[in-house]
Amino acid sequence: MDEPHADPRDELFEIATSVRALVEWYDGTGAWGLPLAPARGQVEPAYPAAEPHEAPPPNPRAPAPPAERRPAPSDATFAQPAQFTPPPERAPAPQFTPQFTPPAPPAERPQRAAVARPEARTPEARIEQLRVLASEVASCTRCGLADRRTQTVFARGNPISELCFVGEGPGAEEDLQGEPFVGPAGQLLDKMIAAMGYRPGEVYICNIVKCRPPENRKPQPEEMDACKGYLAAQIELVRPKYIVALGATAIQGLLGTTEGITKLRGKWKMYRGIPVMPTFHPAYLLRQPSAKREVWTDLQEVMARLGKKPPARG
């Protein structure tokens, strides 16, 4: 006898019940999707694999899955802060300090050997120093006058005299003999010196320049500048009490003035603490004999300062 046919509604109800149970099972386990048939030779997993890319559409009848419960934090959770390992400290950036090297102090210029004061030197030492200076002058080439000279003309007379005569420069006779005032003008100067009560060898005689200017011309300023150091050393070593400047070039070379001898004659000047009497050059007196009276007046002023009287005429 054949079995009676089942009611289709009962079958539908059983299917729906099975699907719902399956969905609830997925919800409970967190898995989604339908299991796939295992490949040949592959073991079927104990649990159906989830299909993240083919999630089933939500079932409106299915209850909402329960919210995930996380364990409540305990007091110990906040007692210790989370272990934090700070990044390694960077080495401090080197501070830039401008490398400043203070300038080296300027090198001391070599000091010229100062000519010792006569008070600190014996007469013999001063005379010897004058010989050394004369030797230095003999090899001098500081200006163009050295090119045409026969020899230098340094000085003549007493190197430690109280009275010094300063002229302009050597002439032809002086260039040949190597001594100042040996020509006609020099012979007149010797007479002037004798009239003052001195012998020519008792006074010191020199010139502004030590070489003869061509054609006996007046020395140029650069030529006088080249020789002025020698003249200063000479006078420093001799250290006369008074100086007689013979002519315009002599007083200009000593004082650096540009005034003429006519305005300066007979008026006391000073050169490095030494009184200077400007007067006419003997060569001028050879051309103008009438000017001898004025020169004698100037020399008498010097004699009065030195406490000398003119020698008695025999």
Residues 6+ apart with CB under 8 A from 76: none
Return the pLDDT at 167. 98
CA dist., res. 226 & res. 255, Å (int) = 15
State the residue for tokens 């020509």: 183
Return the pLDDT at 250. 97
Give SS3 for 7.
coil
What domains can be seen in the chain, in order of their start residue? 118-306 (3.40.470.10)
Whole-model pTM over 0.85: no
CA dist., res. 204 & res. 238, Å (int) = 8
Return the pLDDT at 159. 96
Please provide the distance, in angstroms rounded to a whole number, between the alpha carbons at the two ends of the chain: 207
Task: Tell which residue, 197, 205, 196, has the closest CA to residue 161.
Answer: 205
DSSP letter assigned to residue 121: S
Output the tens digit of pLDDT for each of the chain's 314 residues: 444 455 666 666 667 666 666 666 556 555 555 444 444 554 444 444 444 444 445 554 555 555 444 444 444 433 444 443 444 555 554 454 444 444 444 444 343 344 444 454 799 999 999 999 999 999 999 999 999 999 999 999 999 999 999 999 999 999 999 999 999 999 999 999 999 999 989 999 999 999 999 998 999 999 999 999 999 999 999 999 999 999 999 999 999 999 999 999 999 999 999 999 999 999 999 999 999 999 999 999 999 999 998 887 75
Return the pLDDT at 200. 82
